[in-house]
Amino acid sequence: MQQLTQRLEDLSVGNEVLDADHRSIHAATARLAACTTETELRHHLSTVLELSKIHFRREEKYMQVARFPHAKIHAGQHARFLNTLRHYHNVTEPGFLLLIKPDLEEFLDGWLIDHVLSADKAYQSYMIRSAPELAALAREARSAAQQAQ
Q: How confident is the model at residue 5 (pLDDT cuts 50, 70, 90)?
A: low
Q: How confident is the model at residue 101 (pLDDT cuts 50, 70, 90)?
A: very high
What mean pLDDT, rounded, does the chain reach? 87
What's the CATH number where 125 sits?
A: 1.20.120.50
Mean pLDDT of 91-106: 89
CB 120 within 8 A of CB 66: no
Domain of 29 in residue numbering reads as: 2-148
| pLDDT of 6 higher than 70 | no
Tens of pLDDT, residue by residue over 8-59, are 666 788 888 899 999 899 899 989 889 999 999 999 999 999 999 999 999 9
Q: What is the per-residue pLDDT for 8?
A: 62
Q: Which residue has the higher pLDDT, 35 or 140?
A: 35
Residue type, 79: A
Task: State pTM to two decimals.
Answer: 0.87
| pLDDT of 1 higher than 50 | no
- The domain tally of the chain equals 1
